[in-house]
A and B are shown apart, each in its own frame.
Chain A
Amino acid sequence: MKRILLALGLITTFVFGLACERRGGGGAGDTGPIKVGLYADLTGQTSSFGQSTKNGVQMAVDEINKAGGINGRQVQLLVEDDQGLPAQAATVVTKLINQDKVHAVLGEVASSNSLAAAPKAQEAKIPMITPSSTNPKVTQVGDFIFRVCFIDPFQGEVMAKFAINTLKAKTAAVLTDVNSDYSRGLDQFFTDNFTKMGGRIVEKQSYTQTDQDFSGQLTAIRSANPDVIYVPGYYGQVGVIAKQAKQLGIKAPLLGGDGWDAPQLFQLGGDALNGSFFSNHYSYEDPRPEVKTFVDAYRARYNAIPDAIAALGYDAMKVLADAIKRSGSTDGQKLRDAIAQTANFAGVTGTISINQERNAVKPATVFELQSGKYVFKENIYPEGMTPPATTSPANTNTGTANTGAANANTAASPAAANANTANTAKTGNTK
């Protein structure tokens, strides 16, 4: 009896081993399904980001497969939850690469998580595209790491410009999430630009994500009397900060970055957020056809309005698919080269061209928060990028919406360099 069991066990092990072997072998070549790994925070502190990214990526994958796949190969999406923890992000990406043998990796939103996982992809020479990590250090990890969003030096500059040019602010206070690479990066870039443009930082405070009470920091900020308060954190804390700021009678508007973009922001902050401003990647009311098709499909499928995180997830997958198609291969090196050559790709979040630093150069949109809605304020373009004549959401003339977006790396005309506050049209933007 014992011997039979032993024999059975050996056979099972052998067969199982063979099966694994074959699966691994099939994945490495240029035939069989294309495996794309996605790591995202599905259950942690920033799980809204993870869920949105997953929705966007999944929708792109299904569209691609429905249209016959890429070069006749179907895309297989493997999703891993990193619980919003950097160490966990590194672990699941290692698993995706070594065990599941994925051809490319997508993720994360929070820069600290992307920074932890990127070295794993770089070591294995598997291309990684982060949809929405904006800290510049992420793509500096190595030449296999890309992104389809703008970076924080630009995002910090956008808010500094907006504060000084549009809000006419002279003094600012900064409240940073000290354990987040994203938040500390934005703090630095905002501060540099704000002071360079003649503003003054009158108070700097910080918090951690486990803090239960922010009134100490806010009271200190209140006594410094700033014109604006820059809070480059994530929605989970920002909502509460807005609420406690209002309780303390602080009237200065709060400013922030794309980390605010989540439906939960309003659940936590409510009306205390009215009159705050933040920079984001796209407006879902943009009349460009890419945006409209995407928004309609997303609404039909998930019964929700896609936030920028979802749109970037969708774009990241589409950019990857485009690169696989052009290279005709899923070999790591060839795929990397193809992604690096991405130029003028018409994405939902704007025209995506990957530059020398493997970043996308794109404009940012500033929104004002009003009773649970995003109200479009203005588009701010990076230096050297010509604002297309007709991308303002209020503009109804949309026939050739994006043809004017010149390559961001070309030399700028004097007018373009100065076009920071070009589109100031306002429109109701419900979210």
Chain B
Amino acid sequence: MDTFVQQLINGLTIGFIYALIALGYTMVYGILRLINFAHGDIYMVGAFSGYFLANQLGLASEPSLLSLGVVLIGAMLMAALAGVIIERFAYRPVRKYSRMTTLITAIGVSLFIEYLFVAVLGNAPLSFPQLLRLPEWLPSSLQPDQNGNYRLFGRASLSIVQILIIGVSIILMLILQWIIYRTKLGTAMRAVSFNLNSAKLMGINTDMIIAFTFALGSALAAAGGVLTAQYNPTIYPLMGIITGLKAFVAAVLGGIGNIPGAVLGGLLIGAAETFVVGYGQNIGIPSTYRDAVAFSILILVLLFRPAGLLGSTVQEKV
């Protein structure tokens, strides 16, 4: 039982990372009907921004909640900027052509970012500094053990890194929900996603809203990058390929264009692949089939619900 709970926690942790990235895919798709293949690389850009921020500001040697916050928010801002630049110079010029053109541009942008980083930094893994440390004044009953764990029961435990990932993800998702449903910008985003041309006629600056959506999605992906780097400190220029692909699958699984769907999809993919690793062997599936199983679930769900779990099929009006 404690192993099961432990695997569930492991799965949800990685699932929240997928969910953060999936939100960016789903928001951009919701507004532009564009699958932004460069989004996984923005996740990588976020991790690298955090790495350079931490080292340049000298925060790598003094881990604390404040250092982590500075690096996290700094990386989110830098990735948001990268997202806006990509939208402005790669996608906006081709937006007026067919959707296929934009899609192929996205693949090009993705390869460009990946190999730009390989050319400049090489593909060797770098070690991301560990920034998470709880303040000393916290009472000892609230401090984790020397491995950074809180014991739950039996051998099941929750590490402070896992609490960080899950906690920050939930906070960011609530902020996103607030922006979309409680602010003018969010209302404009929903209007643009409903119908871009009508929104334009109503006086909404659609270019600005689209750029804002990219900034928002990119910032979330960057948060995912920095948080993952606290869990697994290896960062390298091609780290966004597989993770980005899985987050994309999560977005489609939940129903692309649907925000709660992206979160649900991310958690499902994360949990599914961890359970394959943990229990697959008992039924003859080796742990390296984790990706294959995640994608098989996607195919099965799409066979029965083509719009994804929470997506709704909209009747095309002719």
Contacts and interface: CB of A to CB of B under 8 A. Distances in A.
Interface in B237-293: 239, 241-243, 273-275, 277-279, 281, 286-288, 290
A45 B278 contact: no
B288 A178 contact: yes
B233 interface: yes
B288 A84 contact: no
Interface in A195-223: 204-208, 210, 212-217, 219-220, 222-223
Interface of A: 42-45, 47-48, 83-84, 178, 204-208, 210, 212-217, 219-220, 222-223, 236-237, 239-240, 243-244, 246-249, 264, 267-268, 270
A43 B10 contact: no
A220 B243 contact: no
A213 B231 contact: yes
Interface in B41-73: none
A67 B245 CA distance: 55
A58 B239 CA distance: 32
Main secondary structure of the interface of B (DSSP, over half): helix
25 contacts: A43-B122, A43-B124, A45-B123, A47-B122, A204-B281, A207-B287, A212-B232, A212-B239, A215-B13, A216-B10, A216-B11, A219-B3, A219-B10, A219-B278, A220-B7, A220-B287, A223-B3, A236-B125, A247-B147, A247-B148, A249-B155, A249-B157, A264-B124, A264-B127, A270-B130
B123 A212 contact: no
Give the most central of A83, A216, A246, A248: most B CB within 10 Å. Answer: A216
B161 A247 contact: yes
B279 to A, nearest CB: 8
Nearest to A243: B233
Given A216-B278, A240-B232, A268-B233, 5 more contacts: A48-B124, A206-B286, A206-B288, A219-B10, A270-B130
Contact of B273 (A42, A216, A248): A216
A208 B288 contact: yes
Shortest 6 CB-CB contacts between residues of A and residues of B = A216-B277, A43-B122, A47-B124, A267-B127, A216-B274, A223-B3
Nearest to A48: B124
Contact of A83 (B123, B130, B157): B123
A207 B289 CA distance: 9
A240 B288 contact: no
Nearest to A272: B147
B155 A222 contact: yes
Interface in B119-169: 122-125, 127, 130, 147-149, 155, 157, 159, 161
A65 to B, nearest CB: 29
Interface residues of B, number: 42
A248 B278 CA distance: 14
B125 A268 contact: yes
Contacts of A44: 122-124
B15 to A, nearest CB: 10
Contact of B228 (A42, A212, A248): A212
Contact of B6 (A205, A219, A246): A219
Given A216-B10, A247-B161, A47 B123 contact: yes
B234 interface: yes
A267 to B, nearest CB: 4
Contacts of B13: 213, 215
B233 A213 contact: no
A205 B285 CA distance: 11
Contact of B147 (A212, A239, A246, A267): A246
Nearest to B231: A213
Contact of A212 (B14, B118, B127): B14
Contacts of B277: 205, 216-217, 220
B149 A249 contact: yes
A222 B278 CA distance: 11
Contact of B118 (A43, A178, A220): A43
Contacts of A247: 147-149, 159, 161
B1 to A, nearest CB: 10
A206 B276 CA distance: 12
Contact of A213 (B10, B118, B124, B125): B10
Nearest to A223: B3
A219 B239 contact: no
Contacts of B11: 216
Contacts of A204: 281
A430 to B, nearest CB: 20
Nearest to A210: B242
A268 B234 contact: yes
B236 interface: yes
A48 B124 CA distance: 8
A214 B127 CA distance: 16
Contacts of B3: 219-220, 222-223
A207 B234 CA distance: 15
Nearest to A51: B124
B127 A207 contact: no
Nearest to B151: A249
